[in-house]
């Protein structure tokens, strides 16, 4: 049986498509390689966060080649700060969605192009780990 413990350092929207209402997320971890995933911003933010955490666990699961008769082949992934992510990330997705709606509301062509240009280069932080939030035992 293998157990892998991860801690999410940051979730950042690195590319946003306002027409499709999608965002490319970069998930950074403490001491592990980052992951990227494209998500749709059309669903409920709490459900989106739950799906993202489930996807992270699936992607980071390692194959267990243990020959133990009962526990062999079982691999678990625990996210140390998943409760913090579930609390903060939906608010980050809401802020990102509000910025997309803000671009839609602009009626002046010059202001629209300016807002759209900012949207193309924007990197919105959805979640960032609080410093010293966990003590390593």
- pLDDT tens digit string along 7-43? 999 999 999 888 888 999 999 999 999 999 999 988 8
Compare 21 and 50 and report the one with higher pLDDT. Answer: 50
Residue 15, judged by CB atoms within 10 A of its CB (0-12, 13-18, 19+), counts as: middle
Query: Is 52 domain-assigned?
Result: yes
Check: CB of residue 95 under 8 Å from CB of residue 45: no
Query: Is 61 domain-assigned?
Result: yes
Query: Is 47 domain-assigned?
Result: yes
Has residue 66 got a pLDDT over 80? no
Query: Is 37 domain-assigned?
Result: yes
pLDDT band at residue 78 under the 50/70/90 scheme: very high
What is the chain's mean pLDDT, rounded? 86
Q: Structural domain tally of the chain?
A: 1
User: How much is the pLDDT for 17?
Assistant: 86
Residue range of the domain that includes 77:
2-124
SS3 15: strand
pLDDT band at residue 100 under the 50/70/90 scheme: confident
**With b meaning 16 or more CB within 10 Å and e meaning fewer, what string describes 99-114?**
bbeebeeeeeeeeeee
Query: Is 137 domain-assigned?
Result: no
User: How much is the pLDDT for 71?
Assistant: 64
Query: Is 33 domain-assigned?
Result: yes
Query: Is 28 domain-assigned?
Result: yes
Q: Tell me the whole-structure pTM to 2 decimals.
A: 0.82
> Rounded to the nearest 5 degrees, what angle is found at the Cα of 55, between the Cα atoms of 53 and 56?
65
Check: CB of residue 4 under 8 Å from CB of residue 61: yes
Query: Is 133 domain-assigned?
Result: no
Check: CB of residue 89 under 8 Å from CB of residue 52: yes
């Amino acid at each position: 049986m293998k157990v892998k413990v991860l801690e999410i350092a940051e979730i950042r929207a690195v590319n946003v498509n306002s027409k499709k209402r999608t965002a490319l997320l970069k998930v950074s971890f403490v001491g592990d390689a980052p992951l990227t995933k494209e998500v749709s911003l059309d669903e409920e933010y709490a459900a989106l966060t739950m799906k993202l955490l489930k996807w992270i666990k699936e992607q980071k699961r390692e194959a267990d080649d243990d020959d133990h008769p009962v526990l062999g082949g079982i691999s678990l992934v625990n996210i140390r700060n998943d409760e913090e992510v579930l609390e903060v990330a939906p608010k980050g997705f809401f802020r990102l969605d509000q910025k997309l709606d803000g671009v839609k509301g602009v009626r002046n062509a010059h202001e629209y192009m300016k807002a759209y240009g900012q949207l193309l280069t924007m990197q919105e932080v959805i979640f960032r780990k609080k410093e010293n939030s966990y003590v390593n035992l």
